[in-house]
Each structure stands twice: as structure tokens, then as C-alpha cells.
Structure 1
């Protein structure tokens, strides 16, 4: 057999397939990012991740799922993690941190520009990449036609004139949990005493609720069909519905809107420790933050971001707005959440 005649084509095939050079081998390195599916996946994969992949010569494998599902993945992979970076809602993220599933966020210059609100939970092992405000949404046209003033307080959820026109998501949804926390604080309660909040919701709010819907797509439908005219919802969802021309508006209650953060963490024991930190820093950069604000309705956590006026008006933006938000002690809330959920079932949605 003529070895050289046989070997040459084989080597040529290896080179053409990208298997023979260190540079090409590096391009085949993979970094696994777990985050939401749907529009978030599209924005990240189309507008934010390609630049990082090109700059670092890495392929990002996207693991789509809800925060709950991706938290379960992190737990299942604890002893042999495949996911390198995770993006979760702040509540589940705090669980991940408390379970030791997240590594410390490495020091970087971009962190100097991040609002303290985004660093408040996580103990240095996670950080916020987007801010949504939970407040009160309402149909502005109906309110105008009825001669009703816009709501101003969390206590307005108990107004009898909204009987059958109101939605408050169940406590299994973060918006519903935020409602309980906000009303409990307004009524004088705290994490160790939730009685004031439960008593107000059960007696003053629940009797007027048309739906304890948890699906944001369903809440949108209920507003559009006129089945509800006021409810607790997030600023990003309200902005999306308003963009269709529907006359929905949102108020931040005078006691403060609740902060719901999208958060990111470098997963513990990743085999790509440098790249995972660099990806986190890339998503925190002003350029990425601007994209997330414009296309996802996430308020920037980076104070150096500049936004077009129409976008700035639709998200939680700027130091003054961020300062008005009420943050959640997620470690404390997570310790209570199971009992609160049982109590909600017994007393609120009975």
C-alpha cells in the first residue's frame, strides 16, 4: 500500500474539517449558558452572544428553561456541572447561591458601575443584569371613561369599585409574592410576622379578584378582552402590551414598587472559570444592557447606560428611579415561602 498516497488526503480532510490546528480546536470550546427561552433566548443569541463568541473563539451552547427548571438542572449537576453561567429570577437565584451552586463573581471594572440594588442579594456570588418593577397596571381608557383617578397605593387594590375587575397573580408567581410582601410592609408586618399582609389580602383584596392568573400571556389577554381593568404586573410586561397600542399604564405605588431582578451567576466548579466571568462581564456591559432594555424591557443595572427617551420612559432607568424600588430579602423570603404558599391556599384562594 502507498501510505503517503493514502495519508495525504486524510490529513487534508482533517485540516479542512478544522481538526488539525490549535486555533480551530479552541474555536470548538463550548461555554454553556442556562437562561430563559422565548424572546430572551432570541435577543441573547441574535444580538449579544455572537460578539462574545467571535471575540473569545468559543461556542456558546444555550440551555433554555424557566428559572425553576434551570435551578433543578444546577442541582442535578452539582457533582459534575455542565452549565457554566446561569441567568435566573432573583428568588430562585438566591436559592442557588444558598445551596452553594454559584461561584464568587470576580472583581472587574464594570462592577463599579453597577447599582447597589443589583448587588444586594447573592452575597457576592450573583448579580443583577436587569430590573423589572412590580407595580399596579390599569386600563387608562376605562379609568378615564369612569372618571377614576389613577391608583397611587398598594392599598388601592382593596377598593370595592374594582370588584370583579381586578387580577392579583397567585403567590406561586413572583408578582403575587411581591403583592403579599408589599401589603404586609404597608400594614406594619415583616418577614417574621406576615399576619397583617394576609389579613388585608384575604379580607380586602381577594373578594374583588376576578382571577389569580399566573400566566403573563393570559393576564395580557384578560386586559385586552376587558375582563380585568387593573392588576399587579411587571413593568416589562406592561411596556410590551402598551407597544401594541393598548391603553395600559403602570403606576409605582407611593410606598414603592417592588424590584424584580434578572440575575446572573458563574456556576461553581466550572471548567471554564475565566470565560464564565468574561461572559458575565459582557452581559453587564453598557452595550449589552442597552440591548436588553430596548428589546426585553429590562431596566439596566449598569449606571453608565444611555437609552433613547421612549425606551427610558418604559423601563426602570436611572439612579432616581432605581432608588424608589423596594428590594426583597430573598434569603429570608425563601425560608418562609413554603409556609406562605400553604397559607395563601387556605386563606386567600379558598
Structure 2
């Protein structure tokens, strides 16, 4: 009996060893849904899995707010290993201790400075510009010149023809910050922004709904002339054949970094670090640019002329206005409550 028990135990150990040797490591990636997730699953993840052996990458779709909530819920435990978040929520994640430090790698030396996050706990994998989208068909019909400035949002001729996303959306928050800056305020003095929003811009607003599908429909039906939006979203509409163009306002478009971090509690830190570095490679950066309309973070990325014409150029990237999220994030809840009382009333 004793010999049989020992033999059985050894067989069990050998069996476990064989099983573990061929076990698949699963990397969970919290990512934007929709076309972004589809791009990852079709064009980005398969080559990574193939080059890393027994690895399975599983996407966990959600917007930035949803993914941040999941990271908070799993804090200190295994779960999501890599997370994509817009830069504002990403700074919140960093402040909450949810992002681990990025391991040093050669690819980080190839990034634009604007793509780096403080403390090297996250990095922007793509750069989006928040500016003004305008309806080329409606502007031609009315004989209007294209918009050139953030101040154009207050022009009375656009009454009932503007989409201004609520400030729970990053595009809307960017617009509020720019209006504050242009009227004597700043991130630390937001009152001028609220004043011009309430007096001059809100009367022009048809909708505060930031839903891409809704905005696409309104542009297609000539219900709106202008929207505060990102260049990537505008490119998606142009790809659908809608009459819309993106404008970089003369005072500056605002930088929206599509951030990524290795989650501090990841059970697969080395693999997660490798995935982030892979996303920053020129090859994947080109896929991101073509699919999502984002400017590459890696300055060595080569884009076909047709794609390069639709994303922020190196010169435009250098001129993007940066937000001080360390100042803004602590005020977001209070500002949102004020926005709901004063602007979307």
C-alpha cells in the first residue's frame, strides 16, 4: 500500500508538472469597447499571442469610467492586468495606487514627451486632439466660413445647432477649461469658463449628449452645424461618408492621451509590461492610427500619406494644450454638479 501510495503521489506530481508546463497564461486587458476592442482582437492581439507561446489575451471592454471602477474594486487582487484609460481617469488611477511602475525599455526613449505620464506609471499609446467638428454640407449651404476659434462656439448664428458634450465626458471638460483660459481663468479659476458657457454657449446647444451614434445621426440629418469632439471620432464619421471636418482651433486643440498602464496587482507583471511595450511599437502604432485616428506616440512610426493626413501631425502634437490633471481631478465632482445646475438645467 505504501509503495502504491508513493507511486500515485509521484504520478500526480508528474501529471501536475506536465499540466503546468503546458498551461496557458491568461492576460486580462481592460480596453475601450466598440471599434477599439475589435481592432485589438483582430489585428493586435493574435500576433502577440503567437510570439509569446502559451498566452491568451482576453479583453474586458468598458469606457474609462467603467474600467477605473473595476480597478478600484479589484485593488490588491489579481484581475485586470493591463488597463486602457483616457488621461484624466488614468491620473486618478495613478493617484489611487492602481498602476504599477513601467519597466524600463528602449521603446520609451522613442516617445514624444507629451506621451509620458508623471512617475512613469502610465503612457499614452495614442494622442487625440479635442477641437471643433463642423458640418461641411450645412456650412456650404449657409455660405459660412469654417470655424477657427473656441470663441466661435458662442456665435449666435449657431443657436440650436451645437453639440456640447457634458463635462462628465472629456471633450466637454476640455471645452470648459479652454473657455476658462480664454476668458481670464485657468484650471485653478474655472468661474470664467462657467460664465461664458452659461451666458453665450449654452443657448446655442441642441444636445449635451456625447453619444457617438447620436452625434453621427445629427450630422447626417443636418440637425447640427458644430460639435466639440475629438479628431479620431470625426475621422470615423468621415469614413462613414458623413459631411464633417475637424478644426484645430487657433488657440490650441487640447491633448487627450489614450493611456495604458500595467495594473499594480497584476499576477503577470512581466507579460503585462511586454504587452504595453508591444502596443508602443511602430507597427502597432500604425494600426492604431489607421483604425482609431490617433496620432502615434512613437515618433518612429511611419504612416501612409492618406492616414498621416487624418491624424495629428508631429507639429500639431507639439502645439496641443496639456491639462493639469493633478489640479483638475479633485474638482471634477463639484464641477459636474455645478454644470448640471447651471448649464444643463
Band of TM-score, shorter chain: over 0.9
In the alignment, is the contact (CA less than 8 A) between 2:180 and 2:194 conserved in 1? yes
- The separation in 1 between residues aligned to 2:302 and 2:194, in whole angstroms, is 41
Cα drift, residue 79 of structure 1: 2.3
Cα drift, residue 344 of structure 1: 0.9
Cα drift, residue 19 of structure 1: 8.1
Partner of 1:114 in structure 2?
Answer: 111
Alignment match of 2:59 (pick from 59, 62, 69): 62
Partner of 2:194 in structure 1?
Answer: 198
Partner of 2:328 in structure 1?
Answer: 333
Partner of 1:246 in structure 2?
Answer: 242
In the alignment, is the contact (CA less than 8 A) between 1:97 and 1:122 conserved in 2? no
Partner of 1:223 in structure 2?
Answer: 219
Q: How does 1:41-120 map to 2 (within 5 A)?
A: 41-57=37-53, 58-119=55-116
Q: How does 1:134-283 map to 2 (within 5 A)?
A: 134-283=130-279
3-state SS of 1:326 partner? coil
Partner of 1:126 in structure 2?
Answer: 122
User: What does the per-residue CA deviation read over 1:17-36, in whole Å, with 9 as the maximum and x for residues that have no partner?
Assistant: x98366523xx111111111
Say if 2:18 is the partner of 1:20. Answer: yes
**Structure 1: runs of 5 or more not aligned:** 1-10
Cα drift, residue 81 of structure 1: 2.5
Cα drift, residue 271 of structure 1: 2.2
User: What does the per-residue CA deviation read over 1:88-109, in whole Å, with 9 as the maximum and x for residues that have no partner?
Assistant: 1111111110000001111111
3-state SS of 2:144 partner? coil
Cα drift, residue 244 of structure 1: 2.1
Alignment match of 2:31 (pick from 31, 35, 47): 35
- The separation in 1 between residues aligned to 2:159 and 2:66, in whole angstroms, is 36
- The separation in 2 between residues aligned to 1:85 and 1:317, in whole angstroms, is 28
TM-score by length of 2: 0.92
In the alignment, is the contact (CA less than 8 A) between 2:219 and 2:243 conserved in 1? no
- The separation in 2 between residues aligned to 1:184 and 1:135, in whole angstroms, is 15
In the alignment, is the contact (CA less than 8 A) between 2:28 and 2:59 conserved in 1? yes
In the alignment, is the contact (CA less than 8 A) between 2:138 and 2:222 conserved in 1? no
TM-score by length of 1: 0.91
Structure 1 runs of 4+ off > 6 angstroms? none
- The separation in 1 between residues aligned to 2:242 and 2:62, in whole angstroms, is 29
User: What does the per-residue CA deviation read over 1:2-27, in whole Å, with 9 as the maximum and x for residues that have no partner?
Assistant: xxxxxxxxx9xx99xx98366523xx
- The separation in 1 between residues aligned to 2:235 and 2:27, in whole angstroms, is 32
Which one is further off, 168-177 or 55-64? 55-64
Partner of 1:343 in structure 2?
Answer: 338
- The separation in 1 between residues aligned to 2:197 and 2:37, in whole angstroms, is 36
In the alignment, is the contact (CA less than 8 A) between 2:220 and 2:243 conserved in 1? no
Cα 1:122–1:63 change in 2 (3 A) is: farther
Partner of 2:298 in structure 1?
Answer: 302
In the alignment, is the contact (CA less than 8 A) between 1:158 and 1:205 conserved in 2? yes
Cα drift, residue 38 of structure 1: 1.6
3-state SS of 1:81 partner? coil
